[in-house]
Amino acid sequence: MNTQMMLVNIAKVSYFLAAVLFILGIKRMSSPVTARKGIVQAGIGMVIATLATFAITGGHNIGWIIAGIAIGVIPTWLWGKKVAMTDMPQMVALFNGMGGGSAAAIGAGELLKFTQMVDMFKPPLATLALAVIGALIGSISMTGSIIAWAKLDGRMDKRFTFDNQKIINFAVLALAVLVGLALVLWKLNAALVVVFFLLALAFGVLMTLPIGGADMPVVISLYNALTGLAVAFEGYAMGIEALIVAGMVVGAAGTFLTQLMAKAMNRPLTNVLFSNFGGGGEGSAIAGAQKPIDPADAASLLYMAEKVIIVPGYGMAVAQAQHKIWELSQALIKAGKEVKFAIHPVAGRMPGHMNVLLAEAGVPYDLIADMDDINPEFKTCDVAIVIGANDVVNPAAKTDKSSPIFGMPILNVVDARQVIVIKRGKGTGFAGIENALFYQDNSRMLYADGKEAANSLIAELKALDGGGGH
Amino acid sequence: MIDGFLALYVFMLAAFTGKEIIGRVPVILHTPLMSGSNFVHGIVLVGAMIALANAESVLATVIGFVGVILGAGNAAGGYVVTERMLEMFKSSKDR
């Protein structure tokens, strides 16, 4: 066996090891106890696979390879280290777009290589087809993720629509697929490859433009799955097993996660992608008025309560109020009250995003309850505090068929004996819909910035405790 | 290079594996898990490195170079943000 053969075998064994570590890592990441070990394990797999790859590149272009890795790693590492937890969704979108772009680049390289081959050396049909499909998916995922990033980062208007949008989008996709078919079955030439990529990249942009912010979690998750598939297909085209296994595992896990999310929002995936949300339907008008409350009265409600459920929404994170809310909760727990946090599956901007934000503030995860577990408990709760959440507690989702959010599962805050809503003003939520909860007899509105409200509640509670004694 | 039908089986088994291993994930871990799986497809870096190593023409070198930069960014960024998120998950017993 010559040296080159041996090096290739070492690399192949390393890829196998990496694939095992990736699967174990993802498995561990699905339990809070082992999650931390999981990402470290997957990280070790990545380092092993990358180092092993140097063994089979034979030193060709090694300067370019090292420079490329340095340019890719250093800024993203530094940026990832310091970015705020509230900005995680757009970071995931951005890194995902990079992965899609990398897969698309591999596809482009392979296709260009194929165009230069003479007929008898042409690749088998399956190789060519998967290289084309991977390139298509990777390109869509790249530009789509960039648009998703721009929207979540507030660099772009939430939605962008024009006449005949669906028809134009469909036409672009159909053209991209047709050109792809032509590449596989008819003629492999460079000009056609360029047209193919332009169409695929354009479709990623067009497809994401009309989707509103409320649906962005599902879209990012979908693009994450798509990048996984693109990586798997390009892995097949290049004959690298680690890419096939890791990409496919992510593709399947991501698709499953996307379904879970779409289900949690009661929005079939087709609706997310092809209908507009957050601008349309008005819903029925609501009679009555919102009843304000001042911090002192709100604090006495809390003082007398035995069980308090806190319902945080993205607005809390925007106000950076999570630390103060946890301080308030600790004060309540110290006073002998039962405190729980109720999390809607799509609270925040990605499923589980709110949990990350609460974890950052120091809230232990065993105080945080999922929607299905906490919903029956609202009946026995004395005070529910809604902070920065709106659509996910809107009873119209259950009662008002004309509401655009009708059918979405919600937290049953309506059932609590008293509801305190901390809100900056009277505006509507992300989806732009009036909230009937705010007009209920047992609801009181505490109009304030989240942080300020929590601060004054803590102060008022202290005053009550000091003045009244036990 | 693995043969067509064998590859089909690998695709299928990997897909079932992906679905199974996250089947029981609690909602609280959805975001870190999405981010973690986002990191795992950063393995695309390996493909881009090989493509760049095999590049003969200027165009192929440029494409491969861009691929390596993007793949490395996916892997590095994905790892850092996932690790940061997971570091914060603690139960009441841990403190």
- pLDDT tens for B22-39 read 887 777 788 888 899 999
Contact A383, A308 (CB under 8 A): yes
Q: How far is the alpha carbon of B9 from chain A, nearest alpha carbon, in Å?
A: 11
- Complete DSSP assignment for A77-102: HHHHHHS-GGGHHHHHHHHHHHHHHH
Helix (H) or strand (E) holding A446: strand A443-447
Q: Do A352 and B30 touch (CB under 8 A)?
A: yes
Q: Do B51 and A56 touch (CB under 8 A)?
A: no
Residue A25 tokens, joined: 């890592």
CB atoms within 10 A of CB A84: 11
Q: Between B92 and A150, where is the model more confident? A: A150
What's the ipTM? 0.93
Residue A406 tokens, joined: 């009708």
A residues 102-141 near B, CB within 8 Å?
A: 102-103, 105-106, 108-110, 112-113, 124, 126
Nearest to A50 among B2, B27, B45 (CB): B45
Q: What is the pLDDT of residue A469?
A: 47
**B contacts of A244 (beta carbons < 8 Å):** 2, 7, 10-11, 14
What is the β-pairing status of strands A338-343 and A307-312?
A: parallel
Nearest one of A173, A197, A196 to A186, comparing CA atoms: A196
- For chain B, say whether A351 makes contact (Cβ under 8 Å): yes
Q: Give the residues across from A292 on adjacent strands.
A: A445
What is the β-pairing status of strands A383-387 and A418-423?
A: parallel
> For A453-468, how does the pLDDT look when each residue is reduced to its tens digit (9 = 90+)?
999 999 998 888 775 5
Contacts of B51 (CB under 8 A, 6+ apart): A105, A106, A109, A110, A238, B60, B63, B64, B67
Contacts of B62 (CB under 8 A, 6+ apart): none
Interatomic CA distance for residues A200 and A35, integer angstroms: 36
Nearest one of A208, A350, A150, A82 to B37, comparing CA atoms: A350
Contact A403, A284 (CB under 8 A): yes
Contact A397, A406 (CB under 8 A): yes
Q: Between A49 and B6, where is the model more confident? A: A49
**Strands of the sheet with A383-387, listed across from one edge:** A368-370, A338-343, A307-312, A383-387, A418-423, A443-447
**B contacts of A96 (beta carbons < 8 Å):** 38, 41, 74
CA atoms within 13 A on the CB side of A353: 27
Q: Which residue of chain B has the CA closest to A231?
A: B44
Q: How far is the alpha carbon of B57 from chain A, nearest alpha carbon, in Å?
A: 10
Interatomic CA distance for residues A48 and A62, integer angstroms: 18
Nearest one of A67, A107, A61, A56 to A247, comparing CA atoms: A107
**A contacts of B70 (beta carbons < 8 Å):** 72, 98-99, 101-102, 105
Nearest to B40 among A26, A76, A105 (CB): A26
Helix (H) or strand (E) holding A364: none
Contacts of B95 (CB under 8 A, 6+ apart): A362, A364
**A contacts of B26 (beta carbons < 8 Å):** 30-32, 370
DSSP state of A387: E
Burial class of residue A422 (count of CB atoms within 10 Å of its CB; 0-12, 13-18, 19+) = buried
Q: How far is the alpha carbon of A36 from chain B, nearest alpha carbon, in Å?
A: 5
CB atoms within 10 A of CB A99: 37
A251 phi and psi, to 5 degrees? -60, -45
Radius of gyration of chain A from Cα atoms?
A: 26
- For chain B, say whether A8 makes contact (Cβ under 8 Å): no
Q: Do B52 and A65 touch (CB under 8 A)?
A: yes
Q: What is the pLDDT of residue A366?
A: 85
Q: Which residue of chain B has the CA closest to A116?
A: B57
Q: Do B31 and A243 touch (CB under 8 A)?
A: no
Residue with tokens 């499953």: A256
Contact A224, A254 (CB under 8 A): yes
**A contacts of B82 (beta carbons < 8 Å):** 29, 39
Nearest to A106 among B47, B84, B95 (CB): B47
> For B38-59, how does the pLDDT look when each residue is reduced to its tens digit (9 = 90+)?
999 999 999 999 999 999 899 9
Catalytic residues of A: 391
Q: Do A31 and B77 touch (CB under 8 A)?
A: no
Q: What is the pLDDT of residue A188?
A: 82
| pTM beyond 0.90, yes or no | no
Residue numbers in chain A where pLDDT is lower than 50? 277-281, 469-470
Interatomic CA distance for residues A143 and A138, integer angstroms: 9
Provide the pLDDT confidence category of residue B95 given band limits of 50, 70 and 90.
low
Contact A184, A132 (CB under 8 A): yes
